[in-house]
Chain A
Amino acid sequence: MNAPTLPLTDQPRPDSIIAWCADGPVTRDQFLADVAQCAALFPPGGHVLNSCSDRYHFLVGLAAAAVSGRVSLLPPNLTPETVARLAAEHPDLVCIHDGADAIDGLPGLGMPPRAAVGAGGLSVPQIPVNQIISHVYTSGSTGVPGTHLKTWGSLVVNGLAEARRLGAAGHVLVGTVPAQHMYGFESTVLMCLHGGAALWHGRPFYPADIAAALAAVPRPRALITTPFHLRALLDAEVAVPPLDFILSATAPLSEALARRAETTLGAPLLEIYGCTETGQLASRRSTATRAWELLGTVRLAAAGDGHAAHGGHVDGLVRLSDVLETVDETHFILHGRDADLINIAGKRTSLAYLNEQLTGVPGVADGAFLMPDEEPDDHVTRLRAAVVAPGLTAKDVLDALRQRIDPVFLPRPLIFVDRLPRNAASKLPRAELLALFASAAGGGGR
C-alpha cells in the first residue's frame, strides 16, 4: 500500500503569491516551474546542503530536493569543521547555493535563473508524509551533535499550526533570521508552503534595510525577528512602515522591549517558544500574558522531574530540557531555559559542545566556556572562556576555534590560566569560574 501524501504547497490557485522578490510577486505556477527546473538539474546524490542566502532560492532548493526524494541538511553553521563532518557522513552530499554561498570542497549547483512558465496551471506535486525532508542538528548536552529527522507530514502540520495561531495567511513575511535555522525555517518558509503566507526573498540586516524590505511588500505584512534585531531597529529610530504583526523568538524578550515595540511599531508582538528537537511548541502575546499557549494539538506530559512534549507535529514523546510549570492542558509558564544551552542572536549551541571544541584545539590542555548572567536590557551577552594552553597565544586559540564554531560564540574575553578550579570530581563549579574571571578582569574589555 502506498503511504499517504500531502501536496508540496496548499497555496490554492496557480496565481496565488508564495513569495515576493525584488522584481515583484512570485506565483505558485512560477514557483512550481522553478522547483521542477532545479530538481532536474540536481547532480546525483541523496543529500543536499542548502546554503542559499536568498530566501526564495532556499525555498526552491528545499522543495526541489523534497519532490526528487532528497534530504536537505540544515546544520547550525557552515564552519569548515561542520562541512567536513557532514561530507564524511554523507559522501553523496551536494551543495545548492546562490553564487556567493558556494562551499569549497563540495560539488555544487548554483540556483538557475527563473524558469519559463508555459500555459500555466501546473499541478502541485504530492510528497509522502513519511518521507524524510530535512535533518536538523542539536549540539546536545554531552557535546556530541544529535541529528533529528523531519518528515514531510510533521513539517506540514508544524507550518499549519503556526500559521493558524498567528493568523499568518495572506501576510508577507519579512525575516531577519536565516531560513536554515529552525526558527526561520518554520516561521518564514514552512508557513509559505502550508499556511498561506508569502516570504520576502531577502534577509534585511541594518535597520534601514528592514524598513526598506517592509516598504517593498504590500500589507498585511509581518516582521519575523529576534530581540537583538528588534532592539536595534527601535534604537535606530528609522521610520518603519505600518506592520500587522511582529514575531520574536530565540531569546527571552524583556517586557519593556515588547511594550516599546508594540507602541512604536503599532502592531501586536508575538513570541514563539520551541527547540530544535521539537520545532516550535507554543506562543504568547508578551504584553498580555506570561503564559504560553501550546500550538495546535501539541501537549505536555510529566517526564521524570521535568516535562516532555507530544502530539501535533512532535514525533513521539520528546523530553524538554527547560524548566516549565503547567497551568492547564494548553498553557504553561516558562521558568528557565536549560543553563547548558546557549543562544546568541538566534544561533544555538551548548556549553558542552563549545567546551569539547575548545579542549579539542591542539595545544589546549584544559579549557571551559562560561555564559555570564544575562543583563535584562536585550543586549547580547557574550561568552567567556578560560584556557590552559602554555605555548599558545590568544590568536592561535581563536583562529582554531573559528574553524570549529560560529564567530558569535567566540569568547570575549579569552583568559589564560595555569589551571582551572576543578573540584575533586573534576567538575567546574560555576561560582569558581565566575570568581576566576572576576579576578582576571582588570575592568571591562574582552
Chain B
Amino acid sequence: MTTTPDAAQATPPTIADVAEIIVAALNLDMTPDEIDADGALFGDGLGLDSIDILEIALVISKRYGIQLRADNEDNATIFRSLRNLTDYIGSQMPA
C-alpha cells in the first residue's frame, strides 16, 4: 500500500488486498498473510472491535467506492472473517 489512488478501484479486491488494508488501517503488528482468511476478526480471533470496523470501513469506502451498511453495530456478519469481508466488497461493486 504505497500509493492511494485518486479514484476508486474498479476491480474487486483479493483476500490479500483486504488483509493489507486491515493491517495498514489499524497499524497492526503483523503481516497481512498472518491473518487467517476464515478465522474470526472479532472477539478471540483477531480481536477487532466496532472502532476498528469503522476505521476499516472508511478505507474500503474510499478505495472501492462502496458504502458498508448494517442494521446496527452488532450486525457483524460482514466482518465475520477476512473472506466474508472480501466477498462482501466484491458483491457491492458494479459488475
Contact = CB atoms under 8 A, between A and B. Distances in A.
Interface stretch (B10-18, B61-69, B83-91): B61-69
A205 B73 contact: yes
Interface string B42-68: 011001011100110110010000011
Q: Which 5 A-B pairs have the closest CB atoms?
A: A445-B29, A208-B67, A407-B49, A205-B73, A206-B68
A380 B54 CA distance: 11
Contacts of B71: 202
Interface in A385-410: 395, 398-399, 402, 407-408, 410
B1 to A, nearest CB: 14
B27 interface: yes
Given A232-B58, A408-B50, A446 B29 contact: yes
A399 B40 CA distance: 14
B74 interface: yes
B67 A206 contact: yes
B95 interface: no
Contact of B57 (A53, A203, A206, A345): A206
A413 B29 contact: yes
A206 B70 contact: yes
Given A413-B29, A445-B28, A407 B72 contact: no
A302 B56 CA distance: 46
Contacts of B51: 228, 344-345, 380, 408
A100 B50 contact: no
Given A206-B57, A444-B29, A446-B27, A345 B44 contact: no
Given A202-B71, A236-B57, 6 more contacts: A206-B68, A208-B68, A208-B69, A228-B51, A380-B51, A398-B47
B70 A209 contact: yes
B72 to A, nearest CB: 5
A19 to B, nearest CB: 16
B29 A206 contact: no
B61 A236 contact: yes
A39 to B, nearest CB: 26
- Most B C-beta atoms less than 10 A away, residue of A205, A212, A235, A407: A205
12 contacts: A204-B72, A206-B70, A207-B67, A208-B69, A209-B70, A232-B55, A236-B61, A402-B43, A407-B43, A410-B47, A413-B29, A445-B29
Contacts of A232: 54-55, 57-58
Contacts of B54: 205-206, 228-229, 232
A238 interface: yes
Interface of B: 26-29, 43-44, 47, 49-51, 54-55, 57-58, 61, 67-75
B62 to A, nearest CB: 8
Nearest to B70: A205
Interface residues of A, number: 31
A413 B29 CA distance: 9
A410 B43 CA distance: 11
Nearest to B26: A446
B50 A206 contact: no
Interface in A405-423: 407-408, 410, 413
B46 to A, nearest CB: 11
Contacts of A204: 72
A345 B26 CA distance: 16
B50 A399 contact: no
Contacts of A410: 47, 49
A206 B72 contact: no
Nearest to A178: B73
Interface string A344-360: 11000000000000000
B47 A205 contact: no
Nearest to A408: B49
B69 A209 contact: yes
Contacts of A228: 51, 54
- Most A C-beta atoms less than 10 A away, residue of B27, B43, B54: B54
B77 to A, nearest CB: 12
A238 B58 CA distance: 11
Nearest to A54: B72
A229 B73 CA distance: 12
Contacts of B29: 413, 444-446
Nearest to B49: A407
Contact of A445 (B27, B44, B55, B72): B27
Given A207-B67, A208-B69, A407 B47 contact: yes
Nearest to B61: A236
Contacts of A212: 69
Contacts of A209: 69-70
Nearest to B74: A53
Nearest to A204: B72
